[in-house]
Structures are given as structure tokens and as C-alpha cells.
Amino acid sequence: MKRFAIHNRGKWMLTLLIALSLVLQSAVSALAAEGGADGTTAESSLGPPVFTKEMGQALEDAERLLYMQEPLSDWAAVGLALNGKEVPDSYLRAKADELLANRGKYDKVSELARSMAGYAAAGGSVNFIAGLDLYPILMNHRGMEAEGAPGLALAHLVGNRSVSGTLARTEWYSDRIYYKLLELQSEDGSWALPGDASAEGSVAATSTALMALAPASDSEPASKALRWLRTQQSADGGFGGASDTALAVIALSALGIDAAAWTLPDGSQPLQALLKRQLEGGGFSESEGASADMTATVQVYMALAVYKRFAGGESALNVIWKQPVVADSVKVSVEGPEGTIAEGRGQSGEALASAVAFLKKAGIPYKLKSDPEGGQMIGAISGVAEGRYGGQDSWKLAVRTKLGSWLFPENFPDGLRLSEGDELLVYYGSDNTAVLDTIGIEWDFEGQTVLGSPIPAGKPVQLYVKKANRRLGYLIAPGVTVRLAGKTAVSDAEGKVSFGALKPGVYRIEVTGYRKTAVPTIARGDFTLRVFSPELSAYADEAQVSSWARDEMGFILAQGYMQGIDVKGKLLAPKQALTRAEYAALLLRLLGEEASPKTGKTFSDVPADAWYSGTLAKAAELGITDRTSGRFEPSRAITREEAAVMAAKAGRLSTYGSAERMAFSDIDGLSAASRHAIQAVFEHQVMTGSDGKFEPGRTLVREQAAAILARLHVVLYADSLIY
């Protein structure tokens, strides 16, 4: 469908879109309950709010113009989503291209907020765009105060609805923005636009600020603003131009106030004033007698869309700021009363739906039952039903976020949800059955106790196991079984276990609390322990490492991902070609996965007794390698194309922007799967090519593999407490 360009003619008119996309719950707030504080009532003699046929027709007529925009604007994307219409996929890809190109850096905070709102409206996650998290960028924007009340209000609205999974420190936070906004309120209750020498109140600025104040428990600042806003109502029932009127309608709806109840003695009211501005062809004019204006058209469209939701008792927020369901984006573990039933990957979104989808895909029988709240819960899995041990034991759900914290259904009345990178635990137990919270790691260095992982090779290690129940976290976990490097130990009264020295590498720590005649004391869980190799300077050929690769090589040695190649481990061989089997082994270490037992043949050319047999079996199980040909060619040097494909599969890297953004001149003849993988590693900045070429057929050497692993580590673990 052909679309035409939008022209932005008002400095602050774009705020309508953002605020609209973030309108909070439309339930009547304390402001509405105040009745005549602003000279009106939320529910007047007109009765409940009504979205009329005339309003519906106006939406339909204007909608055709929104779809004709080329490119589609951010605020048009939000408007379409508000009205329950599809946002073209081309917008999502183009916006991702823009965000990946500028890494979320915009001169104005309003530009960033607008982009975040539009991208979320189209179904994207602003907290993960090929590893890019826009929340800390927004909250550290140096221009936070430069745009005055409108900029602060937008940042507050967007920031509150895009809770980040990052550990990055932010200069601004919700309360600081909120109180700064209150400081800028004038005595008469209004807010002015920035740069206004007269400091006169602005309908646009005041309406936007009112949206940010909507959820506040103290409604006095908002009541003052409403009283001022009522004084700005013009003779036609509006607030001057169509854009200002539309913005006021959105603000009133956000506060639970029916804009149609703001009637003048002659019956004029804001919504009627908007409809009178619609011209033949569906567009709206900014002022009476003027020609159609696309900015006004988009903004009025959004005002009508949000009023439609308000009149229907719906929340615009849940429609606009919902996170997309992404397949294979979360880790799922199903832990029975006596052992693990299944492990694998599942979809993000609602936790119970994710659990059911995983069980169906794995072919595991299950039953659902009604819960006390009228919803559903898991009643049985693999024939194990509730009450197995004669008590209140049953199947339970818990979610561990990327930051390592546990979430339980009882704390989320609207439903427990999973975001990309989270973990879903489906386990059998009672309310006293705990989940694995943290593993404290201690080792000795020159008589001093050192905390944390990675640990050095050749040093005994002590682990302190902590658990979390459905009320408290970081509790001592005595009497649980801990397995590490093929050895097991039981934690003492302090939750401590000790293990001997380990070689460099990556190990899985498994913790279980199984009991023969009772529910487990702790649901099975695992952590990754990294044992680092000697530092770069310890290798005889460290001078051969290219200057661009030294930092990344040093990093992966410190993570235990790579070791020396000779018996004594003193040679790195940074320029040596890497075999396909060796590369697969590096990726498994990065993922914290252990090799499978060497039983049977996964590939026809992989001997069962080869050192890499178990490694390739696990890689095939995880989908890192392709088994369709039946062969793997383990000893052949791996190419950059093959490395990209395996890295994308190992990291489960999605693509976000358009394929054209890569602009590599040497990949046109590759398969669609290879081009997709190259786009994924390019967008995540894992492999970027040079001079407009990717060099897909070039052999990968060890220092290049080190760089890939270091960058992939950042993508997978940078925001996690569990390294």
C-alpha cells in the first residue's frame, strides 16, 4: 500500500503520540472521585462515556491516511496499535535499523521516548534489540531537563513502562523525574513549554504532565492543573488547535475523566470540537478553515482511539506495551519429585502458557485443573499428580530473571510472565520446597579468602548454597546434594561444601534435594563455575596475538573458555586455524553445557571414542550443529560462514532490522540460512566484517574465535548476576 511522508509542524505536538501509547489504567482515579474540584464531574448527567458511530467513522476515514505514510511515523504506529490495527512489519525493521545504527543515541530525550513508544507499539522489546537496552540510555540522557515539563513527562511515562533487566547505573529514576516535574508546575497549576520567556501555561505541556501524574496518590497537583486546563477551554468546546484538544482528551482519559462531560452551556465539548475539524478525505485540520494536516490527523486519530478504549473500559497500556511472545527464548526445566523430567527451551510470555507449550512440544503428558482463583494450574505431569506424599504438595511454577531474582505466581495477580533470557522452573513440591537462589564461591589466595567466579586452576574451592522459598531469599541450604566435576558432596549446617582443585575450563554445579519418602527440600537447579586459564602474559607466544584481539583473548582466558594447545599449556597459537570440533567445544563452554556421554554415533564421521564425540552430541542436541547431512567433518578448519551459523544458533540470536543494512558485497550467493545467521551476528556486533565484506569462506583462527566468544559472552551474560 502506498504511503506518504508525515510533516511534523509542532515542537511539542509529537508528545501526543508518546503519551497516548503510555496511557495508564483507565479506571477512575482519585482525581475523578474529587467531583467538582475542577468545576466538572467525571460522570455527569450525560451518563457513562459513549464512543459514537460518528467517532468510529472518523477513525476509519483517517486510518487510510495513516497507512499511506512513507515511512510510517512512530506516532502513527502507536495510533494504529491503540486502535487494535496491525502495524506493518516494515516499520519494525526500519526502526530497528535506526536504533542499531545510532545505538539509541538521540539529541533530544523526546526523540528517544518517541522511538521507544513506537517500537513497543509495533511489538518490539525496547529492553532487547540485538543486545541494545534503551532503558538505561533514556535514564542517562544528558538532555533530560532541556525540554522542560514535556520531556520529563515523556521520560517518566516511557521509563515506567519499560522496566529494564540491566545492571547499568542510571542517573535518573522514576521518583526523581516525578518530583522534578512538580518543581516546574506554576502557581496556577499549569506547565509552560521550554524556552517560553513569558512562562505562560501551555495546554500541550500541562496535558502531557497530567498523564505523568495520573497514577499519583497525592492528586492535589493534578487537581490544580485540571482547574487551569478548564479555564483554557475555547468557545467550541476544544482547547484551541486540534492537536492541543486531542492531547487534552488523552490526559482526561488517563485520569479516568470523561472528556465528553466537559461541556459548555451550549453543549459544546472537546470531542465534538475534534470531529468538526475532519475534512473530506479523512484528514483533520489544525485550525478552522485550514487545509488537512497529517500531524493533526495522526494526533486526533490517537485521541479518538484512546477514548474508544476508555469508553469500553479497556486499558490502552496492555495493548501497546505488551512484550512479544518469542519462541525458544527462555530456558525451561521440569523437575519431578525424584529427578529431572525434561530440560530445554520454551517461549516467553505468560508462564503457564509457556509451560504447557513446552510440555506439548516435548510430548510429555500433563493435566490442567482449576485453581482457587478461577484460573488454571498444572494438576499432573508424567503421571505424577498432586498429593503424592499425602500433603499439600503439587506442581508449582517459578521464574528466575536474567538478574538472578526469583518470581512466584502469588506475587503477580495479573499473571507471572517471562521475558527473553529468563528461566522457567516447573517443579513438584510443597510451599516449603525451596529453589536454588545463589552459590557463594570462596577460594584462597596468599592466605586471603577471595569471593566469586571465575576461580584459578589448582585451588580448592568452597561453595555456600543459598535457597529461596516463596517468601524469603538468601536462606542457608543445609543437607542438599551438590555435584561438581563428577564428584558429589552434601552441604553442612552452614550450607557449605568443599571440592578439590580443578583444571581450567567451565563446569556445571548441580544442586538437588531429593528424598525417598517426601517432597524435595529444594528443586533441582544449577549454576556455572568457571576456572580461568593463566593470564595472557604467561604464554610463550603471547606477542603473536594481534593488538585488536589482545583484550578479548585475555578476557576468554579469564573465563576459562580457552586454554593452551600444548601439553604444558604454554602456547596459545593465536594464528592457528580452528577445527569445527574445537569451535563447537568453545561454544559449549560459553553456554556452560557439559558434553554428553559418549554413546552411539551422532554423525557418521565422528568416532564414538573421539574426544569430541560427546561434545558434538551435545551440540547437536542443542541445535548448534546440523545433522541433516549425517556428517560433521570435525577435523576440517571452520570458515567464517560456518562460525557465524553456529554462533547464531548457540546464542539463539534473532534478527531485528532489515537484511539490506548489512551491505556486505560477498554474501549474495550464500544460502538463506547463512545470510540470516550473518545478519544476526552482525546486528549483535559479534562478527562485523570489514571494508564492506564478510569473507564467508575465510578460515577462522584462534584469536578470531576468541573475539567471537568474548562478544557473544557480552550478549548472553552482560546483564546477568549469574555468570
Supply the pLDDT for residue 7. Answer: 34
Secondary structure class of 682 (helix, strand, coil): helix
Q: Which of 465, 497, 532 is the last residue of a domain?
A: 532
On the question of pLDDT at 91 being above 80, the answer is yes
| Structure-block grid coordinates of residue 629 | 547431512
Q: How confident is the model at residue 16 (pLDDT cuts 50, 70, 90)?
A: very low
**What CATH number is associated with residue 274?**
1.50.10
Q: Look at residue 10 and tell me if it is in a domain.
A: no
Contacts of 572 (CB under 8 A, 6+ apart): 536, 539, 541, 542, 544, 545, 553, 562, 564, 565, 702
Domain encompassing residue 436: 330-532
Same domain, 520 and 543: no
Q: Look at residue 412 and tell me if it is in a domain.
A: yes
On the question of pLDDT at 29 being above 80, the answer is no
Supply the pLDDT for residue 411. Answer: 84
Torsion angles phi and psi, residue 320, rounded to 5? -85, -45
Same domain, 373 and 492: yes
Nearest Cα to 61, choosing from 267, 305, 280, 296? Answer: 280
Looking only at the bridges linking them, the beta strands covering 455-456 and 525-532 are parallel
Q: Look at residue 6 and tell me if it is in a domain.
A: no
Q: Which of 504, 532, 560 is the last residue of a domain?
A: 532
Q: Look at residue 5 and tell me if it is in a domain.
A: no
Same domain, 471 and 599: no
Same domain, 518 and 653: no
Same domain, 312 and 411: no
Same domain, 202 and 239: yes
pTM: 0.85
Same domain, 433 and 551: no
Q: How confident is the model at residue 218 (pLDDT cuts 50, 70, 90)?
A: low
SS3 content of the chain, % helix, strand, coil (to 5): 35, 15, 50
Supply the pLDDT for residue 570. Answer: 87
Number of domains in the chain: 3
Supply the pLDDT for residue 11. Answer: 33
Q: Which of 51-55, 362-366, 368-372, 705-709 has the lowest mean pLDDT?
A: 368-372
Supply the pLDDT for residue 168. Answer: 75
Same domain, 492 and 589: no
| Structure-block grid coordinates of residue 185 | 508546575
Same domain, 540 and 521: no
Please tell me the distance from the alpha carbon of residue 317 to that of residue 294, in angstroms, as a whole number: 24
Q: Which of 36-50, 193-207, 392-406, 687-701 has the lowest mean pLDDT?
A: 36-50
Q: What is the pLDDT of residues 508-541, one digit of tens each?
A: 999 999 998 899 999 999 999 999 999 999 999 9
Q: Look at residue 126 and tell me if it is in a domain.
A: yes
On the question of pLDDT at 37 being above 90, the answer is no
Q: Look at residue 701 and tell me if it is in a domain.
A: yes
Q: Look at residue 121 and tell me if it is in a domain.
A: yes
Same domain, 39 and 135: yes
Same domain, 386 and 425: yes
**Cα end-to-end span (Å), the chain:** 48
Q: Which of 503, 532, 561 is the last residue of a domain?
A: 532
Q: Look at residue 640 and tell me if it is in a domain.
A: yes
Q: What is the pLDDT of residues 364-378, one digit of tens each?
A: 999 999 987 778 999
Same domain, 311 and 336: no
